[in-house]
Structures are given as structure tokens and as C-alpha cells.
């Protein structure tokens, strides 16, 4: 059978319970981004709250201290929230001996192939922030916020390869059934 040109095809599928070790590796690059991106906003919000509570403006050295401590702490907290969403577990509470155990949450992993697959899937899902997504897109219809946005999609072919190395699509039972009945 000749491949369909321009269309995507599912080449891997599995129901998966991601372990904390897999989740840390999968989302590890996000942690540094969260620590950096959330620093200014966290510092500003904390200063507004403190100024309201105490009735005086926060000195520059207090703002700097909050930026160095509270900002990264909040970024890490948000990272732990992502891992909890993916695994059902809170990273600081997971004993090292259980880091490779299956998580409590099931997800459906779909791996697509085809010309420009990454961009096509990302267009179907919509922007990471569901409030900015078009009606009918996966994230607009099923996402609730930027952190719980209904689906993950690799942002590049390189990251897709990295992520597949973590999830291990070769464990795909669906492919075995497909090959048996439709090859």
C-alpha cells in the first residue's frame, strides 16, 4: 500500500503510567524555564501583597532577596505540579526506591508520523494556553489553563525523538495488533 502524501498516520500508541523518573526526564528542561520565567511575576505579586499587608513599599534589597529565593521556589513548585499532574505523585514525597515505579495516572500516548508532523499536531492542539486557542482545537475544548492544557506535543523533531526515548514506543501493543490484522 502506498503511503498517503501529506497525511499523518499513527505509528505508536499505548496507555502509559509514567513513572516519576520518566516524568522528571521528560519535563526536566521545563524546570529551569519555570524558575526563570516565573521569578519576576512571583516577586511582583509577593511585593504587592507585602506592601498591602504592612503599608509601606518594599525596599530594593527585599525585592532582590525575594527574586533570588521565592521566585525559584515557586518555579520548582509549579514544576512539581506538572509532575503530579502526569504521575499522580508529589516529587518531594516519592522515596528514591520508588522513583521508577509506575505512576498513578494513565495517559494515552499517540505517536504520529508524516511530513511536518510536529507542526500539524501542534496546530490541531492549539496554543499551550487554552484561552488563546481557536474554538474546536483540542486545548480550547479540553484544556483548563496553561499548566493543564489537555495534551502534550513535541515542539521539534529533536524533542520528539528525545521524548520517545523516554516513553519507549516500542512497548506498543497496538502496533502488534495492527501488523497482525492489517499488514
Could you give the residue numbers annotated as active site? 152
Smallest CA-to-CA distance from 81 within 73, 91, 96, 72 is with: 91
The answer to whether residues 27 and 83 touch, using CB atoms and an 8 Å cutoff, is yes
Say how far residue 27 (Cα) sits from the centre of its chain: 6
All residues at 6 or more sequence positions from 182 whose CB lies less than 8 Å from its CB, including other chains? none
Hey, what's the cell of 53? 499587608
Q: ∠ at Cα 33 (74, 123), nearest 5°?
A: 115
Residue 70, phi then psi, degrees to nearest 5? -70, -40
What cell was used for 80? 512539581
Q: H helices within 55-172, ranges in order? A: 60-87, 117-125, 138-142, 157-167
Cα Rg of the chain (Å, integer): 20
Residue 143 DSSP class: -
Amino acid at each position: 500500500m502506498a503511503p498517503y502524501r501529506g497525511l499523518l498516520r499513527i505509528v505508536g500508541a499505548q496507555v502509559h503510567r509514567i513513572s516519576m523518573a520518566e516524568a522528571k526526564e521528560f519535563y526536566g528542561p521545563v524546570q529551569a524555564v519555570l524558575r526563570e520565567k516565573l521569578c519576576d511575576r512571583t516577586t511582583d505579586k509577593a511585593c504587592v501583597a507585602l506592601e498591602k499587608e504592612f503599608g509601606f513599599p518594599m525596599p530594593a534589597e527585599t525585592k532582590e532577596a525575594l527574586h533570588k529565593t521565592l521566585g525559584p521556589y515557586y518555579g520548582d513548585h509549579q514544576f512539581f505540579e506538572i509532575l503530579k499532574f502526569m504521575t499522580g505523585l508529589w516529587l518531594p514525597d516519592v522515596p528514591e526506591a520508588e522513583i521508577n515505579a509506575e505512576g498513578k495516572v494513565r495517559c494515552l500516548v499517540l505517536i504520529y508520523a508524516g511530513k511536518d508532523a510536529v507542526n500539524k499536531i501542534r496546530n490541531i492542539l492549539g496554543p499551550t494556553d487554552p484561552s488563546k486557542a481557536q474554538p474546536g482545537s483540542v486545548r480550547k475544548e479540553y484544556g483548563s489553563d496553561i499548566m493543564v492544557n489537555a495534551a502534550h506535543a513535541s515542539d521539534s523533531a529533536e524533542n520528539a525523538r528525545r521524548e520517545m526515548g523516554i516513553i519507549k514506543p516500542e512497548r506498543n501493543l497496538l502496533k502488534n495488533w495492527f501488523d497482525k490484522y492489517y499488514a
